[in-house]
Chains A and B, each alone.
Chain A
Amino acid sequence: MIVILTFFALVFGLFCGLSGTESEIIRFISKNSDMILYILMFSVGISIGMHNGILKKIRQYHLKILIIPLGITAGSILGGLLCSLILKLPLNQGAAVASGMGWYSLAGVTISRLGGAELGSIAFMSNLMREFFSFFLIPIIAAKLNYCTCIAPAAATSEDTTLPVLLKYTDEETVVLSVLNGMLCSFFVPILITFFFHI
């Protein structure tokens, strides 16, 4: 159900954007998307807070907590290198595009500036697809693999937009791991993109 609603929300949004439909509600939503994100984070915070003993459980992980962001980062970079080989692009460019890890706005803008408009567009769209397809992949991974792996497609977006889907299909413990993962991946994104353009 959630996946269908997500799909329709995107399609309806695209339709409104492409057709140039102007209405107070659409303008209000677009203008206040930051505020909506804050309400979302507040609500996610409440869900975490209502779950007793969760922070104690998380503390038990110690350094193991780094496994998920490191796995996602390494997997993304390796995937980017494989794409470069397939598409015959310079390896550093492929690694930089994949280092966006779903943060399409930042990756698109930064890579456009560092690697040109075409590569910037690829970075924007591929990372946007990563965020969007995460909504579909998370329920499948939760059912077939394990809860922690649900964070992998979401990558840097696991601390905001994809978090409610993770909350719905996994548990509160995984949600806290998602937030930490999102913070770390988001921290790595600009560093890795810049790094790959300077080697």
Chain B
Amino acid sequence: MKIFIIMGIGILIGRFLMIGKLKKWNERLAMLCTLLLIFSMGVMLGQKENFISELSSLGLKSFLFFLIPTVVSIIFVYILTRRFIDKKDTKGNDK
């Protein structure tokens, strides 16, 4: 809930107070936060007891449990969005 309130405040600031020049800096801030979160996720995993042994013994099963559900989800959403969401500019270039 807290997350959505914070995001809501961000939306209001973006809507009424932000100027175009700051857009780039805001994107950089988002990227920095993401990298810091991923870094802390790595630290947490590295500190987890038995992480390496679990990864080697259950890694293949885990990979399968990542791969198949993800691929089926992608196929389902692609078919459904092509059929029901007529959104222009849905395929494009890296900004």
Contacts and interface: CB of A to CB of B under 8 A. Distances in A.
A40 B47 CA distance: 24
Query: B34, B47, B63, B72 — which one has the most chain A CB atoms within 10 A of its CB?
Result: B34
Interface in A14-46: 14-20, 26, 29-30, 33, 36-46
Chain A interface, DSSP helix/strand/loop, else mixed = helix
Interface residues of A, number: 95
A148 B61 CA distance: 29
A79 B71 contact: yes
A146 interface: yes
B30 to A, nearest CB: 4
Nearest to B35: A9
Contact of A36 (B36, B48, B76): B36
Contact of A13 (B23, B46, B75): B46
Given A16-B42, A83-B68, A149-B74, A121 B26 contact: no
Interface of A: 2, 5-6, 9-20, 26, 29-30, 33, 36-51, 61, 64, 67-68, 70-72, 74-80, 82-83, 86-87, 94, 97-98, 101, 118, 121-123, 125-130, 133, 137, 139, 141-149, 151-153, 155, 159-161, 164-165, 167-169, 171, 173, 179, 183
